[in-house]
Structure 1
Amino acid sequence: MEAGIFWLVLLVAAGAAVYLFQKSRPSIAHKKPQPILQEWGASEKGNPTQIYHGKDVTVFESDGGWKFTIGDPNDRREPYFSEPYETVDIAKTEALRHINRLPSLHQSLPEQRREKRRQKEEEQREEFVSNEPEIIAALAASADAAANVTELRKIERKAETQLRHVDRVVGSIAIYGSDEAIEKALIVQKEARELLENIRMRVAELKEKPRNNKAGPSAS
């Protein structure tokens, strides 16, 4: 009797162990198949090419970099052409990622240029907020020291040029700048406009003086 119970318990334990082992194994049906990467061949023009997921993929040199084109052999529509990338290997990588609808790992050359331009504009905006008040103050001091219309006219032209620059940068700051930067830029713009207005008023005053002197004392 005891021997029978022993063997019964042993069989139950063995069955439970087999069940738990099978449950812990990953199901083959749930495994995500990995894409098979094919070797790149060469086109008639010597460019890297391959058929990937049923698409004709070719990488070629153009516009100072490397582009890729993706076409469907069974589709008469124009193939897709990418922007140029820095190297042939980057273009290859981005071509396959484009087909797999994966995000880009690298910037194209136009994207790099746009990013550099954006950074440069950001630096210019920061310099503007820091340096422009000093430039306007220097022009105002020169205007105060001017003794005649000729000198004031020269400063007036500089003030006009400076105001155009201020208006252009303030417009950029209004779109891309922080609230603090916008506030400072508007103050600078107001000062630049007031400076030009004051210079023009002084020019008018100096031009009026000779007329008053020529008129002489009025007869009583």
Structure 2
Amino acid sequence: MGLLSWLFGRADSAAGWKQSEAGNDTMISGGSRVTVFQDGSAWKFCLANANGDDDPFFSETYTTKEAAVHEALAMISGERSLYKSNREKREEQIAAGLPAWIERDREKLEAAEKSVARLRAADVRKASTLGNLRKRLLSGLRSAYSIRNHASEDHRHNAAAEALIAGYDALLDDIAKIEPTDQIKT
């Protein structure tokens, strides 16, 4: 059993691999040219027609070369996928962290509501304070939109994101009506 067969668990994976002009592992399998290459610190594969192709397929990135090789050969042979792409791993991590992210943003929204209330009650309202509060609210709003984008499949988290968006929008509307007292009116 060859090294690639042992590494990748396939009898056919060692046969036919060569180095491309660019130094990448490449082979012809099932009428497709398979090329595995490093992309930064990750690995990808490219599938193209063995006779030339103007529209090759480029994969997502994978953590290891082994994963990229397996997924390339699995795609050609119709086998099941064993490895998750880096994007899939990242999406799972984000989904797992959504509840904590939502809770942090709720706390930030509550703190912003208190800041707006204090600003309304203040005798002196500096333009710089209003500007900084507006920036905080816009940052919170962007975060809430990100939560909504990541929670698109989860209705409970999506509803929480919508509530955050509505809260930030209301506060932004509210501070837009507050006039600073430290500016000279002419």
Amino acid at match of 2:159: D
Give the structure 1 partner of residue 127 of structure 2.
Answer: 153
Higher RCO (C-alpha under 8 Å, 6+ residues apart): 2
Match of 1:189 in 2: 169
Contact 2:63 2:86 in 1 (8 A): yes
Give the corresponding residue for 1:96.
73
Alignment gaps of 5+ in structure 1: 1-35, 212-220
For the 8 Å contact 1:159–1:192, the answer to whether it is kept is no
Q: Is the 8 Å Cα contact of residues 137 and 168 (structure 2) preserved in structure 1?
A: no
Q: In 2, Cα distance between the equivalents of 1:163 and 1:47?
A: 48
Against the structure 1 CA distance between its residues 167 and 100, is the aligned structure 2 distance closer, same or farther, given a 3 Å change threshold? same
- Classify 1:82/1:167 alpha carbon distance in 2 versus 1 (closer, same or farther; 3 Å): closer
Deviation at 1:161, TM superposition (A): 1.4
Identity fraction in percent = 23
What's the counterpart of residue 203 of structure 1? 181
**How many pairs were matched up?**
167
**Mapped partners of 1:195, 1:62: distance in 2:** 46
Per-residue displacement from partner, 1:39-67 (whole Å, max 9, x unpaired)? 41541456444443343333232332222
Q: Distance in 2 between matches of 1:98 and 1:68?
A: 11
**Cα pair distance change 1:120/1:203, threshold 3 Å:** farther
CA shift for structure 1 position 96: 1.1
Aligned mates of 1:59, 1:136 — CA distance in 2: 52
Match for residue 66 of structure 1 among 37, 43, 67: 43
Is 2:85 aligned against 1:108?
Answer: yes
TM-score normalized with structure 2 length:
0.64
Judging changes above 3 Å, is the alpha-carbon distance between structure 1 residues 57 and 171 closer, same or farther for their aligned structure 2 residues? closer
The answer for unaligned runs of 5 or more in structure 2 is: 1-9, 152-156
Counterpart in 2 of 1:76?
52
Alpha-carbon shift at residue 85 of structure 1 (Å): 1.7
> What is the aligned partner in structure 1 of residue 4 from structure 2?
none
Local SS of the residue matching 1:178: helix
| C-alpha deviation, 1:123, in angstroms | 4.9
Q: Name whichever structure is richer in helix by fraction.
A: 1
3-state secondary structure, aligned to 1:59 = strand
